[in-house]
Amino acid sequence: MFYTCGPNEAMVVSGLCRSPPVMISGGRVFVLPCVQKIQRISLNTLTLNVKSDKVYTRHGVPISVTGIAQMKIQGQNKQMLAAACQMFMGKSEGEIAQIALETLEGHQRAIIAHLTVEEIYRDRKKFSEEVFKVASSDLVNMGISVVSYTLKDVHDDQDYLHSLGKSRTAQVQKDARIGEAQFKRDAVIREAHAMQEKISAQYVNEIQMAKAQRDYELKKASYDIEVNTKKAESEMAYQLQVAKTKQRIEEEKMQVKVVERSQQIMLQEQEITRREKELEAKVKKPAEAERYRLEKLAEAQRAQLIMEAEAEAESIRIKGDAEAFAVEAKGRAEAEQMAKKAEAFQQYKEGAMVDMLLEQLPLVRNKPLKRRSSNTHMRCGRLTIA
């Protein structure tokens, strides 16, 4: 006959040709009647309520502990299934659960005896892990695996835990009051620090703004000086250029006059030559002609010298007038430039005035030399004419 079982139970077939017995977990098997025997064992998960009442801890305080354990017979492991069959075959689930419960309770009591109430109460996870570890190593030899263990409840009849809770509550309240006071103190300190940092930042910002304003004013003043200087230089250059142009025009006029005088002298020389030839042709006596020629020649030379001297004096006078006009124009331009610089540099006081005076000293020193040179030329011209 064929027998089947679900995944939550196992079948054990023994008898003829079944030595050792065959164990099948969740499947089917063929059994010969009368010569073979089939038995079943449950693989359902068992929930155990493990209670340990009035167990004395390491410090002698009696407490009651309740834990919840989940366990089952391991059907996938053949060795554990064989051990479970040897231990529990023919027993009901209740009987198996009672055996496992007593084993778990014994281990739970042993662990409670090695710990203090505070350790059990404050670190339940550690207690559960120790019970799980010790019970698993013992129950595995029975073919039972502990799926989970959780500490459900811890209490005592002596109000030890209640007193411990009061002490802890008082400590927590004390720590809370201290923490609140410290928080308020830290908040006041942080607020004072924040206000101090705010004021410091405000002062730093104002200093930076003042510094930026100062740099701006200095830059602006420097640029104004540069712009005014360039304007003054440009105006002075324009006036100097005008003066130079006028000087060139006067020099050209003077050259024209010199050329005209040269032409007049040439015409006079030609006239003298013509008269000499006429004298040679008309005067009969050579001596008188020679004397007459010498006199005329002397007169012509004298006239030529006078005209040359006058032309040179006129040229020198015109050149001197042109130079005097140029110097005067340059002086006016420099005076206007100095006035504009004085107006532009008025706000910069001593440094700018010293710079302007140092710049004008060479021009002031050279002006008398030019006038003496012009006077010397004039005196030379007068001496030559004389």
Determine the average pLDDT of the residues in 82-105: 84
Is the confidence at residue 250, as pLDDT, over 70?
yes
In this predicted structure, the answer to whether residue 33 has a pLDDT above a threshold of 50 is: yes
Q: Do the Cβ atoms of 313 and 375 come closer than 8 Å? A: no
Q: Residue 347: pLDDT above 60?
A: no
Q: Between these two residues, 153 and 162, which has the higher pLDDT value?
A: 153
- Tell me the C-alpha distance between 171 and 179, whole Å: 12
Mean pLDDT of 121-149: 84
Average pLDDT, the chain: 76
Q: pLDDT-derived band of residue 348, with 50, 70 and 90 as boundaries?
A: low
110 and 137 Cβ atoms separated by less than 8 Å: no
- At 183-213, the pLDDT tens digits run 788 888 888 888 888 888 888 888 888 888 8
Span 80-87, mean pLDDT? 81
Q: What is the 3-state secondary structure (H, E, C) of 80-121?
A: HHHHHHHHHCCCCHHHHHHHHHHHHHHHHHHHHHCCCHHHHH
Greatest Cα pair distance, the chain, in angstroms, is 204
Backbone CA torsion sign across 225, 230, 232, 233: positive
Is residue 344 predicted with pLDDT exceeding 80? no
% of the chain exceeding 70 in pLDDT:
79
- Hey, which of 152-166, 251-265, 276-290 has the most confident mean pLDDT? 251-265
pLDDT in the model for residue 363: 64
Which is more confidently placed, 161 or 264?
264
Instruction: Give pLDDT tens digits for 366-376.
Output: 555 444 444 44
Res 105 pLDDT > 80:
yes
Query: What mean pLDDT do residues 106-135 have?
Result: 84
Confidence of residue 73 (pLDDT cuts 50, 70, 90): confident
> Residue 377: pLDDT above 50?
no
> pLDDT class for 36, splitting at 50, 70, 90?
confident
pLDDT at residue 350, as a whole number: 57
Taking Cα atoms as reference points, which of 253, 248, 378 lies closest to residue 309?
Answer: 378
* Sign of the torsion angle spanned by Cα atoms 100, 104, 105, 110: positive
**Residue 346 confidence class, pLDDT cut points 50, 70, 90:** low
pLDDT at 75 over 50: yes
CA 190 vs CA 181, 296, 348, 369: distances in Å: 14, 122, 49, 81
As given in the structure block, the two tokens for residue 377 are: 């030329």
Whether the Cβ atoms of residue 25 and residue 10 lie closer than 8 Å to each other: yes
Q: Is the pLDDT of residue 148 over 50?
A: yes
Asked if residues 292 and 279 have their Cβ atoms less than 8 Å apart, the reply is yes
User: What's the whole-number mean pLDDT along residues 138-164?
Assistant: 79
Residues 328-334 have a mean pLDDT of 73
CA end-to-end span of the chain, whole Å?
A: 174
Model confidence at 378: pLDDT above 70: no
pLDDT band for position 361 (50/70/90)?
Answer: low
Contact 31, 63 (CB under 8 A): no
Average the pLDDT over 357-378 and give the result.
Answer: 54
